Amino acid sequence: MPGPAAYIFDLDGVVYHGNSVIPDAAETIERLRAAGIRVVFLTNNATRTREAIAAKLEGMGIRCSAGDVISSAYATPLYIKQQYGTSSIFPIGEQGLVTELECAGHTIARQDVDFVVVGLDRQFTYDKLATGLDNIRNGARFIATNTDAMLPTENNFLPGAGSMVAALAAASGVEPEVVGKPNKPIMDVLLQEYGLKVWECTMVGDRLETDILAGINAGMHTVLVLTGASRIEDIEALEIRPETILDSIADIE
């Protein structure tokens, strides 16, 4: 049986922790590429452009171009464009999200918009929440880049995009369409972008409820690595079962 045509790697907790590379991650990625396997980086991070994510990886000694990255900041504008056309959008998020929305041809505005799009925003304010609420009450659709509750850092966890999404959902009484892992839209964007078939892909992640569930839902092979958020005991608790469990990305053969 032929091996995978593509490995899909989550980033934080799989390839690096914050600004520290997981031991032997770069060597593993290059070994896979040398074997003719496509390597794609798939992240729910919506604060940076694909170019900025690629630059971070390059700075860590991991060869990467923007074309090797699918982020929720990139997938969200594409999803909106494919499903609804070019639109006017009020973003609650950081510059990376705004840039990706504009690059996809959408218009950024504060009022009378088609969509309110929410991602991680470390300058989240009551005014942004109120403006988002006003737009949704006036008929704008509500889209979340992802609903990750927490953001991992090298030493602890910080509030993630899901915290901002939950605030607007509570205020408006409206649940958003969610693009990022484990949901279908980001996986569809990935498959379309590279012309991949699901059975050719292996999803490698450290979070059962996002990475591994996304791979399972899409019909991909799945590998849980134990360098990040989820532990073996979480498998029974969450009833999300990866095909393979490895200590680290370095153990991929």
pLDDT digits (tens, 9 = 90+) for 159-192: 999 999 999 999 999 999 999 999 999 999 999 9
Give yes or no for a contact between 6 and 37, defined as CB atoms under 8 angstroms apart: yes
Give the active site residues: 10, 12
**Domain range summary for the chain, segments of one domain joined by +:** 6-44+181-251, 73-178
Residue 1 has pLDDT above 50, yes or no: no
- Identify the CATH homologous superfamily for domain 73-178: HAD superfamily/HAD-like (3.40.50.1000)
Specify the pTM: 0.94
Q: What is the CATH number of domain 6-44+181-251?
A: 3.40.50.1000
β-bridge mates for residue 133, sequence order: none
200: Cβ contacts below 8 Å, ≥ 6 apart: 4, 5, 6
Topology agreement, domain 6-44+181-251 and domain 73-178: yes
